[in-house]
């Protein structure tokens, strides 16, 4: 019975029956009491449901409890470029958009304006190594003087995405020629990655035992060590044009992060 029907019924009783101890008034009071009971029941059910929800979402810890919901790591923030840094970023991008692994132009890789200077390291003279990045990926850069980047701005994808939960994340270990153009070509062996707050020092070790302390800026680290191209010749061929070269056979074996007191707080052993 609806409230209106109940009111009509009470109205008819009041019109047709003789007055009996304020019957209509008592009926209305009973109706109000029922309303209050319904509202109170709804509140109790709502509170019960609200209390029960956390045990479903986050797990109560008891036997048979629902598993905890995994929290997706927040993306590592990109810094803002100063005017001087913006010039370096532009040079590293060679004034244009990033390219694919085969130096092909691709619209899905973003624009030059998407990139920021993440970390840089002076090598000597006017040469530097650096990494610029966007939400989609990053570009390794070796420049100096009038050379913005000796390599095309090839976009490398973030390893595992923009967010990470570990103290350290190694995104790329690679090599690049220097800007001097000598032969056998001088190389920079580079290790680039991300570090959580609290990591004050990062040391990278290669398989030949060589170590380098990384530069850390904006939560990104970049380690560099010098090397040279290994000459290769065809046996019995004395033609200088037949001389080739390859990278040295060394790889990154460990990346160790330390806090300000020197205590190791994270270690990677790349495969």
The confidence band for 11, taking pLDDT boundaries of 50, 70 and 90, is very low
Decide if pLDDT at 46 tops 50: no
For residue 80, give every residue at least 6 positions away whose Cβ sits within 8 Å of its Cβ, in sequence order, or none.
116
Cis peptide before 37 (omega within 30 of 0): no
How many other CB atoms sit within 10 Å of the CB of residue 104? 10
The confidence band for 232, taking pLDDT boundaries of 50, 70 and 90, is confident
pLDDT tens digits, one per residue of 79-124: 999 999 999 999 999 999 999 999 999 999 999 999 999 999 999 8
Q: Is 237 helix (H, G, I), strand (E, B) or coil?
A: coil
Q: Are 129 and 222 in contact (CB under 8 A)?
A: yes
Q: Where are the alpha helices (DSSP H) in 144-217?
A: none
Average of per-residue pLDDT values in the chain: 79
- How far apart CA 51 and CA 57 sit, in angstroms, is 11
Give the model's pLDDT for residue 234. 65
Give the model's pLDDT for residue 240. 54
Q: Where are the domains of the chain?
A: 3-58, 83-268
- Residue 32's alpha-carbon distances to 26, 27, 35, 39, in angstroms, are 10, 9, 5, 11
Among residues 147, 139, 134, the alpha carbon closest in space to that of 178 is found at 147
- How far apart CA 152 and CA 61 sit, in angstroms, is 53
Across residues 228-249, what is the average pLDDT? 74
Decide if pLDDT at 38 tops 60: no
How many other CB atoms sit within 10 Å of the CB of residue 155? 21
* HEC readout, 97-130: CCECCCCCECHHHCCHHHCEEEEEEEEECCEEEE
- Residue 260's alpha-carbon distances to 3, 38, 152, 167, in angstroms, are 72, 62, 37, 14
Give the model's pLDDT for residue 183. 82
Across residues 18-42, what is the average pLDDT? 43
* HEC readout, 183-204: CCCEEEEEEEEEECCCCCEEEE
Q: Are 98 and 149 in contact (CB under 8 A)?
A: no
Beta-strand runs (E) in the chain: 116-124, 127-133, 137-144, 156-157, 168-177, 186-195, 201-206, 211-213, 215-217, 220-228, 230-232, 244-246, 252-258, 264-268
Across residues 123-148, what is the average pLDDT? 94
Q: Give residue 52's region: left, alpha or beta (phi > 0; psi -120 to 50).
A: alpha
How many CA atoms lie within 13 Å of 123's alpha carbon, on the beta-carbon side?
A: 25
Decide if pLDDT at 43 tops 70: no
């Amino acid at each position: 019975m609806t409230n209106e029907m109940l009111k009509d019924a009470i109205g008819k009783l009041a019109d047709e029956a003789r007055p009996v101890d304020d019957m209509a008034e008592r009926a209305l009071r009973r109706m109000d009491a029922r309303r209050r009971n319904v509202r109170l029941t709804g509140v109790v059910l709502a509170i019960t449901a609200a209390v029960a929800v956390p045990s479903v979402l986050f797990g109560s810890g008891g036997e048979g409890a629902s598993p905890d919901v995994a929290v997706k790591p927040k993306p590592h923030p990109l810094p803002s470029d100063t005017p001087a840094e913006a010039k370096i970023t532009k040079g590293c991008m060679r004034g244009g958009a990033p390219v694919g692994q085969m130096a092909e132009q691709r619209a899905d890789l973003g624009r030059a304006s998407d990139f920021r200077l993440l970390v840089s390291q002076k090598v000597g003279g006017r040469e530097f190594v650096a990494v610029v990045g966007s939400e989609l990926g990053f570009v390794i850069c070796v420049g100096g003087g009038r050379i913005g980047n000796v390599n095309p701005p090839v976009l490398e994808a973030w390893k595992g995405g923009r967010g990470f939960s570990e103290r350290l994340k190694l995104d790329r270990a690679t090599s690049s020629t220097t800007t001097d153009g000598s032969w056998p070509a001088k190389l920079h062996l580079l290790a680039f990655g991300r570090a959580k707050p609290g990591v004050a020092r990062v040391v990278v070790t290669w398989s030949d035992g060589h170590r380098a302390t990384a530069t850390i800026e904006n939560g990104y680290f970049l380690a560099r060590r010098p090397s040279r191209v290994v000459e290769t010749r065809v046996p019995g061929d004395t033609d200088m044009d037949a001389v080739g070269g390859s990278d040295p056979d060394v790889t990154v074996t460990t990346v160790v992060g330390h806090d300000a007191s020197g205590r190791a707080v994270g270690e990677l052993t790349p495969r």
